[in-house]
Amino acid sequence: MPFASLRDFIDLLEKSGRLVRVKAPVSPVLEMTEIQTRLLAEQGPAVLFENVVGSDIPVLVNLFGTVERVAWGMDREPGQLRAVGETLAFLRQPEPPGGWREALDMLPMVRIVMAMKPKTVNAAPCQEVVLTGSDIDLGKLPIQTCWPGEPAPLITWPLIVTQGPDPKSDKQDNYNLGIYRLQVTGKNTTLMRWLKHRGGAQHHQRWKGAGKREPLPVAAVIGADPGTILAAVTPVPDT
């Protein structure tokens, strides 16, 4: 079964020797990023920094630093990634079946597509603790400063969820999931760093074009299950 949470995936990686826990203090200002860069170049393990200077929250790095871990995050083995790529290619340019036999052959693909539909739930673990107003303080998060001279630290791997102005009539306004870095500018403010052709930015442009006065609905998600994290960087069509 696919992993239900990031914790489940961490447990597997640790049991298989693919994750190392670091108890020594590590600074989120440049030091952590430098270590990650070397780990990635050397195809090293995932690392959980348990003692981050200035924060009580641990940081997981180099999670998908090898092809093997990318495949495992999708509940696959490396040799099965080609089939995943073929599925994505079909979704981007689907071809109608040439006859009833081809239509039958496409049924497994149809089941895969139907399973992609999001499900709405009434409660979720991310809603167990809710902070609002003056209680919000991004400074409590172990956010990295990645490069010398950067004006502000970056939330480097947030899953950004947006919805356009007219989701009932326009499929392009349905929920979009992408990874766009957030640059922290204050206790409760960030800059959204997205390219204008990306799905989230397209939602924002259409939102403004529709004359909406209220802010675009956006959620930034940190620490989702590995399948959802990988889905956010996968070329699935917007619709």
DSSP 111-168: HHHHHTS----S--GGGSS---GGG--GGGS--BB-STT-SS-EE-S-EEEE--S-TT
**What is Dmax (Cα atoms) for the chain?**
63
| pLDDT reported for residue 161 | 95
Query: What is the average pLDDT across 198-223?
Result: 93
DSSP bridge partners of 236: none
| pLDDT reported for residue 30 | 97
Give the model confidence (pLDDT) of 151-185 as tens digits: 999 999 999 999 999 999 998 898 899 999 999 99
CA distance 16 to 30: 29
Residue 222 identity (one-letter amino acid): I
Which helix (H) or strand (E) segment holds residue 200: the answer is helix 199-209
28, 142 contact by CB (below 8 A): yes
Contacts of 16 (CB under 8 A, 6+ apart): none
Q: What is the pTM of this model?
A: 0.87
223, 48 contact by CB (below 8 A): no
**Which pair of tokens denotes residue 223?**
């620490």
Query: What is the average pLDDT across 79-97?
Result: 80
Task: Answer yes or no: is pLDDT of 103 > 70.
Answer: no
Task: Answer yes or no: is pLDDT of 9 > 90.
Answer: yes
- For CA atoms 34, 40, 41, 42, give the dihedral sign: positive
Residue 211 identity (one-letter amino acid): G
| pLDDT reported for residue 107 | 72
CA distance 91 to 109: 9
Task: Answer yes or no: is pLDDT of 96 > 70.
Answer: no
Give the model confidence (pLDDT) of 16-68 as tens digits: 999 999 999 999 999 999 999 999 999 999 999 999 999 999 999 999 999 99
CA distance 231 to 177: 8
* Domains of the chain, residue spans: 125-231
Average pLDDT, the chain: 90
Q: Tell me 56's DSSP state.
A: S
- With CA atoms as reference, report the closest residue to 142 among 24, 22, 29, 19: 29
For 105, phi then psi, to 5°, come to -65, -25
pLDDT band at 88 (very low <50, low <70, confident <90, very high): confident
Task: Answer yes or no: is pLDDT of 102 > 70.
Answer: no
